[in-house]
Amino acid sequence: MSTVQFPSPSSSLRLTPRAWGMLFVLCGAIFLEGINVAMLNVALPAIRADLGLSTGELQWVISAYVLGYGGFMLAGGRAADLFGRRRMFLVWLAVFLVVSALGGMAAEGWMLIAARFVAGVAAAVMTPAGLSIITTGFEEGPRRNQALLVYSGTAAGGFSLGLVLGGLLASVNWRLVLFMPAVLALVILVAAVPLIPAAPQERSRDRRVDVLGAAAITGAIVLLVLGVERAAHVSAGQTAVTVVAGFALAALFVVVERRSAAPLLRLGILRSGPLVRANLAGLLFSGAFFGFQFIAVLYLQELRGWGSLQTSLAMLAIGADAVLAPTLTPRLVNRFGNSRVILAGLLLAVLSYVLFLPIGLDTVYLAMFPTMILLGVAFALAYGPLTIIATDGIDESEQGLAGGLLYTSFQFGAALGLAASTAVIVATTTGTADPLGGYRTALAVPIAAAVLAALVSAFGLRKENTR
């Protein structure tokens, strides 16, 4: 694939205007994905009131997106490698635009849920395609690292800003929460056509598709995510059957890939220790973050009686990562290396969750602020460098696949963290007069996940020091 040309490594690290333009478009897409998830979370009460959804139906507004996103991410990343990253990015950005608008016009709950599922599938192709455009368009080294840190900071900032935007828009009309991403997608699409360079070499690439492998891994991930997502809403037996079926399809996928002449996932890529550690740490870090967010939102809204906008503003400090990721993190990475910066971020995450343990029914926001700001710093230090390690040293032809693996880990981790936190809250608050104690107990989920992520990263750092 052709790359955007930059100055030699010995020259200034400043990117060319064309490179900044391409990066701007790709950051716009990942920002769009971030605000799309966050805005809908705070709009759920308004959606329930307007469409008359039950609690079980309401959770599918989120779960449908998670299933589409997590289930098709790996196949989407490989599709970008096989059929052209630019083409896949533009086509599925257009699909995302259309289904977002259709979701905003939904008159029935099933229409909205269906639109959310297709939006998740679109994001599952668009996101790894965008990431692989960066990792193949910027030469490996400081320039790519700079681009990835700006990109990851934009993604995290989109999620943080989405919390506030969602509260504002939902207070007017929840349908604006879906129409706004559609408008933003249109702007990005128009800008992307001239700014993202074509790659004619991709047309001669072998495009044989591992259909059976794609079906097996997509089915496996969908079932595993579904099992995790529904764990708090169905019986343990149903959850076990779903999860076992998911693992069975995953085993079938491994068998298929070993025998396929053109595998969807070259299993040898998993021999990369840094890639595996980055994915595992990313899964645990994501699970901790989304589990904490769920606990904090329920605590603020259900126990403290705060409104959606008030809650969004309370968590806005987490958005500090949008400023720190492209400014502070590159300097720290250049001085200390990715692994040390990731470990520092994960340890800060552990500290931030521990500091939230003393919450009470009359805790002032000033006492919660250290958790929010430290979590923002932790995100800035860990998220971007994890992305760098997960894609560094991977062959250009498999960059989309590497991106798909990483985002699958993030998405599955989010589902796992949400389900585990929900299960603990339900188990510890049902039939008790002390719901606050249940929320404190549930904080063990993000704390434990962040500690495990730190241990995984520390092991990688030890191996680096040994070498």
Per-residue pLDDT tens over the stretch 14-32: 667 878 888 889 988 988 8
Is there a common fold for 17-196 and 266-466? yes
CA distance linking residue 192 with residue 135, whole number of Å: 17
Predicted pLDDT of residue 207: 62
Question: Dihedral sign, CA of 428, 447, 316, 293?
Answer: negative
Of residues 368 and 45, more confidence is placed in: 368
The stretch 77-86 carries a mean pLDDT of 84
Give the pLDDT band of residue 370 (cuts 50, 70, 90). Answer: very high
Using DSSP's 3-state secondary structure scheme, residue 424 falls into helix
Range name among 80-84, 252-256, 343-347 with the lowest pLDDT average:
80-84
The stretch 1-23 carries a mean pLDDT of 56
Sequence-separated (6 or more) residues with CB below 8 Å from residue 356: 292, 296, 368, 371, 443
The neighbour count for residue 45, using CB atoms within 10 Å, is 14
Predicted pLDDT of residue 443: 95
CB 383 within 8 A of CB 159: no
Predicted pLDDT of residue 7: 36
CB 389 within 8 A of CB 403: no
CB 377 within 8 A of CB 345: yes
Per-residue pLDDT tens over the stretch 395-405: 877 777 788 88
Tokens of 146: 């700079």
pTM of the model: 0.81
Of residues 156 and 303, more confidence is placed in: 303
Of residues 458 and 319, more confidence is placed in: 458
Q: Which fold has domain 266-466?
A: Growth Hormone; Chain: A; (1.20.1250)
Tokens of 132: 């692989």
Predicted pLDDT of residue 388: 87
Above 80 in pLDDT, residue 160?
Answer: no
CB 138 within 8 A of CB 145: no
Per-residue pLDDT tens over the stretch 112-140: 999 999 999 999 899 889 888 988 888 77
Above 80 in pLDDT, residue 279?
Answer: yes
Of residues 219 and 232, more confidence is placed in: 219
CB 72 within 8 A of CB 125: yes
Q: Where are the domains of the chain?
A: 17-196, 211-265, 266-466
Superfamily name with CATH number, domain 17-196:
MFS general substrate transporter like domains (1.20.1250.20)
Above 70 in pLDDT, residue 466?
Answer: no
Phi, psi at residue 286, to the nearest 5°?
Answer: -65, -45
Which residue carries 């880990």 as its tokens?
A: 409
Percent of the chain with pLDDT over 90: 30
CA distance linking residue 441 with residue 430, whole number of Å: 13
Helices (H) and strands (E) in the chain, counts: 16, 0
Using DSSP's 3-state secondary structure scheme, residue 59 falls into helix
On average, the pLDDT of the chain sits at 84
Look at residues 433, 404, 410 and name the one whose alpha carbon lies nearest to residue 269.
404
